[in-house]
């Protein structure tokens, strides 16, 4: 009979780093929710709008990026389209596929959302460029993003 695999207990530094990452994520989400509310958006609507401000995306890809069901994405896109922030278009690469894309007003709101995020302006702005670069590089390693790749 094989011995059960022993998982090593995380050291105190690792536990502190995990706790700090959790706190940073919680602050980011709270800040994002607050910025979204200023535009009468939910957090999910704001995240979708921000993603689409980078590029038009098919519903299935949006769902993967948001980690939710495509049917949920359809509802969010419908609500944003009703407000004139998003529109559906045919994918230039495959006319059978519809993509969601921001309108000019949606792009303006997405820029405003990014500008309203205190988290990016305050704690991160307090770090030097070298510190922000080191933090970026460490986070890329953690999440498995290649240098120079989109996040």
Residue 129, both tokens: 């460029």
How far is it, in rounded angstroms, from Cα 109 to Cα 115?
Answer: 10
**What is the pLDDT of the chain when averaged over all its residues?**
88
Distances (CA, A) of 48 to 41, 57, 75, 86: 11, 10, 11, 10
**Cβ atoms 101, 91 nearer than 8 A:** no
How far is it, in rounded angstroms, from Cα 135 to Cα 129?
Answer: 10
Q: What is the pLDDT of residue 151?
A: 42
The string of pLDDT tens digits covering residues 93-117 is 888 888 999 999 999 999 999 888 8
Q: Give the global pTM.
A: 0.74
How far is it, in rounded angstroms, from Cα 118 to Cα 125?
Answer: 10
Q: What are the φ and ψ backbone dihedral angles of 90, each rounded to 5 degrees?
A: -75, 140
- Does pLDDT of 149 surpass 70? no
Q: What is the pLDDT of residue 93?
A: 84
- Does pLDDT of 42 surpass 90? yes
């Amino acid at each position: 009979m094989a011995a059960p695999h022993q998982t090593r207990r995380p050291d105190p530094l690792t536990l502190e780093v995990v706790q700090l990452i959790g706190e940073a994520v919680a602050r980011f989400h709270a800040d994002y929710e607050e910025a979204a509310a200023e535009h009468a958006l939910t957090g999910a609507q704001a995240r979708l709008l921000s993603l689409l401000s980078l590029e038009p995306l098919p519903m299935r890809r949006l769902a993967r990026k948001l980690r939710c069901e495509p049917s949920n994405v359809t509802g969010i896109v419908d609500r944003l389209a009703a407000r004139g922030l998003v529109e559906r278009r045919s994918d230039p690469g495959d006319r059978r596929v519809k993509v969601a894309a921001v309108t000019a007003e949606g792009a303006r709101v997405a820029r405003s959302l990014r500008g309203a995020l205190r988290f990016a302006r305050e704690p991160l702005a307090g770090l030097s460029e070298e510190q922000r670069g080191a933090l970026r590089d460490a986070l890329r390693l953690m999440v498995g993003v290649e240098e120079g790749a989109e996040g």
